[in-house]
Structure formats: structure tokens, C-alpha cells
Amino acid sequence: MASSKFIGQRIRTMRLSRGMTQADLAKAINQSQSSITMYETGKREPDFETLEALADVFNVPLVSFVDGGGVVSVSHPSEEPKNEDIRLLIRGLNRLSPAQVEQAKNMMRVMFSEYSDLFESRKEDDE
């Protein structure tokens, strides 16, 4: 998964692009304002359920919180498609061993080889 700092930057960017305060966001996902502050500053990383709640509030795919997972749009939230399939994939990946995750990544590289630019920067990071 992405670093706490990266996730925090994404949360802050999405929150501000929608004109929300930290208190607004905290209320929307049933968390404390101090938790939002800690997420945004990278002092604490949200758990999977919190990321799901954030994705719901911002109406973005869960992959938006993964480094390289797409550009955070500052457009109206309804313009971002919501994709339940991505959530299911991530839940499944979270249950795999590190070796199985590596196998899944390799399979995805093959499946999406025509979009090699998606994986090239990540491949270098992995090595």
C-alpha cells in the first residue's frame, strides 16, 4: 500500500477540493477531527474500513489512495466513477501472502501489457 504521507496528501487534496473542513470529513466518516489531522499529516494511516468510508464520501475508487493509483480529480465528485470491483479486488489482495501478491502483480503485468506505462514506474520501485 502507499505511504502514510502519500495517503494523507490524497485525503487532504480531496477534502479541500470538495470544500470540506476536517470536522466535516470527520463527521462524514464517523471519526474524530484529530484522526483526520493525523491521517493528513501522515502520523497515522487509516485502516481499510476507513479508506472505504473515505472513498464513499469522496465518491472515488479505493485505488485513488494507492501511490500510482490515479490522479486525484478536483472536479465534482460525481464525475469520478465508483467501482465496487476494485474494492473486491483489493479486499482479496489484502488476504494474500506476499508471494501470492507478487504472483498477482506479475499476472496483472501480463494482462495489461499493452498499457505497460502503468507498470513501468512501479516495477522500478519494486526492484
Check which CATH number belongs to the domain holding 63 and give it. 1.10.260.40
- Extract long-range pairs of 8-14: CB within 8 Å, 24+ residues apart: 8/39, 8/40, 8/41, 8/42, 9/40, 9/42, 10/64, 10/65, 10/72, 11/36, 11/39, 11/40, 11/46, 11/54, 11/65, 12/40, 13/72, 13/74, 14/54, 14/58, 14/60, 14/64, 14/72
Assess whether 48 and 102 both reside in one domain: no
pLDDT for position 41: 92
Q: Tens-of-pLDDT digits for all 127 residues of the chain? A: 457 788 898 899 889 988 899 999 999 999 999 999 999 998 998 888 898 899 889 888 877 777 655 444 444 444 444 566 666 677 777 777 778 778 877 777 776 666 555 555 454 444 4
pLDDT for position 91: 72
122 belongs to a structural domain: yes
- Cα separation, 104 vs 63, in Å, equals 16
pLDDT for position 115: 58
Assess whether 64 and 11 both reside in one domain: yes
Assess whether 14 and 34 both reside in one domain: yes
118 belongs to a structural domain: yes
91 belongs to a structural domain: no
Assess whether 8 and 65 both reside in one domain: yes
100, 35 in Cβ contact below 8 A?
no
Assess whether 57 and 102 both reside in one domain: no
Assess whether 79 and 102 both reside in one domain: no
Domain that residue 112 falls in: 96-126
Assess whether 80 and 103 both reside in one domain: no
90 belongs to a structural domain: no
